[in-house]
Amino acid sequence: MSTIVALGGGGFSMEDDNIYLDAFIFGLAQKERPKVCFVGTASGDAQSYSEKFLNAMEKHDVVANELLLYRPPVARDELEKYVLDQDVIYVGGGNTFNLMTLWKAWGLDEIFKKAHDQGVLLAGISAGSICWFDGGVSDSFSPPGSDLLDAVEGIGLIAGSNCPHYDGEAYRRDQYHRLLKNGSLKDGIAAENGVALVYKKGRLAEVVSSSEEKFAYKIVVENGIVHEEKIRARFLG
């Protein structure tokens, strides 16, 4: 089944000693030893992020692979075959706009759509969450210290907008509401740190978390007013 897991925060990127979310994602692949491929585009393929992924995967019974565009694993015309051979595509955080720009240049946006259609599980945190939606709220254009966020586009496998780190930064909720009210983003869903949104065939199927008392929020704008529907996440512990 075509599945996407969009993390508001958490996983190996943020929770060194908490493996709940990553173990949950890998379990969804329903493979004895799934091939998990980390995509580091949003961080500029930072070596430190790559090393963090590889070290974290030692805690799981998986085959750890990488797709780093600055050090591509295969020739460009073999990228589609490489991606379709994976069981899980796990996209890291960073700059969503740069991620989308590079994916389009390499044709990865269409390759990932094909992978989704063929049952490869797609997952990611922060930028790696926003990318699967029509769009989301991002600090892609923000200088250090700025609390002004912008709308960015994704590849549109999930309708609507996405806001990760909903409880992680004091200004993010207000910025998301601003972009919704001015029409820069469509109605959508926000997720707190440690929360994962599970989509099957483009529809929200479940909300899970790596700690207790965590939430996601369905968000719509009516007559200029933002309405939030709180969704309690199922604790995986």
What is d(CA 125, CA 200) in angstroms, rounded to the nearest whole number?
A: 17
The answer to whether residue 48 is catalytic is no
Report DSSP letters for the chain, one per residue. --EEEEESS-GGGT-TT--HHHHHHHHHT--SS-EEEEE-GGGTS-HHHHHHHHHHHTTSSSEEEEE-TTS-SS-GGGHHHHHHT-SEEEEPPS-HHHHHHHHHHHTHHHHHHHHHHTT-EEEEETHHHHTTEEEEEE-TTPPTT----EEEE---SEEEEEE--TTTSTTHHHHHHHHHHTTSS-SEEEE-TTEEEEEETTEEEEEEESSSS-EEEEEEEETTEEEEEEEEPEE--
The one catalytic residue among 165, 209, 210, 211: 165
The answer to whether residue 60 is catalytic is no
The one catalytic residue among 13, 43, 126, 129: 126
Q: Known catalytic residues?
A: 126, 165
